[in-house]
Amino acid sequence: EGVHINYVRALEKISDGDFTTNFVHGSKASITRVHPGSPGNAAVQDVADGLVDIAVGPIWITGDRLKMTTFTMPVQQDRTVLVITRPGKSRDLIEETEKVLDPFTMGVWGLLIGMIFVTALLSVWFSGKRSRRPSVYARLAVDECLQKGTFFCSAGVEQNENASLPRKLLMFGFAF
């Protein structure tokens, strides 16, 4: 039987006859020809082809499977763990900073910082605030660099566009 089959049977009892279940095995064509070595993909393919109404089991939701058919909300989630062989024992600031910078090369980081800087300068240029004093432009450029950099580093935490810069800097920490 199994936990997933028992779950569907419990839903069937709760529904008071709204639906009935007839459990069948996956089609041999999907398993052997279309998706050999992936019973999850084969089960989703059977749903997409209309051979079955639902597939029940420990099936991960992947991008390829989402292209085949729709999914319900997950009733169970697996915990994903990253295993690192012989992790380092050092906890100094330089090594911890290197871990944060590791996903990108220095060239990509330079490109990202350059894009933040250019975006900030363009937003000052097109802001419509005209002044003849260079110090005003410098202050606006610094504020825009901080704002754009903070938004980039906030990892998608939504920020109020009209909030003050100190508030945005305080919100920066909530992304971590």
Which residues neighbour 103 within 8 Å (Cβ) at sequence distance 6 or greater?
A: none
Q: What is the distance between the alpha carbons of residues 1 and 27, in angstroms, rounded to a whole number?
A: 19
Q: What is the mean pLDDT of residues 104-131?
A: 81
> Residue 171: what pLDDT?
60
pLDDT in tens, 93-106: 887 777 777 777 88
> Residue 42: what pLDDT?
84
The two tokens of residue 52 are 């079955």
Using a cut of 0.75, tell me whether the model's pTM lies above it: no
Residue 18 vs residue 168, higher pLDDT: 18
129 confidence band (pLDDT: 50, 70, 90)? low
Question: Where is average pLDDT lowest: 46-50, 74-78, 129-133, 135-139?
Answer: 129-133
Does pLDDT of 144 surpass 60?
Answer: yes
Instruction: Please give the mean pLDDT across all residues of the chain.
Output: 77
The two tokens of residue 93 are 């600031």
Q: What is the mean pLDDT of residues 115-125?
A: 82
Q: What is the distance between the alpha carbons of residues 144 and 155, in angstroms, rounded to a whole number?
A: 18
Q: What is the mean pLDDT of residues 3-17?
A: 86
Does pLDDT of 45 surpass 80?
Answer: yes
* DSSP label of 78: P
Q: CA gyration radius for the chain?
A: 27
* DSSP label of 175: G
Q: What is the mean pLDDT of residues 63-73?
A: 86
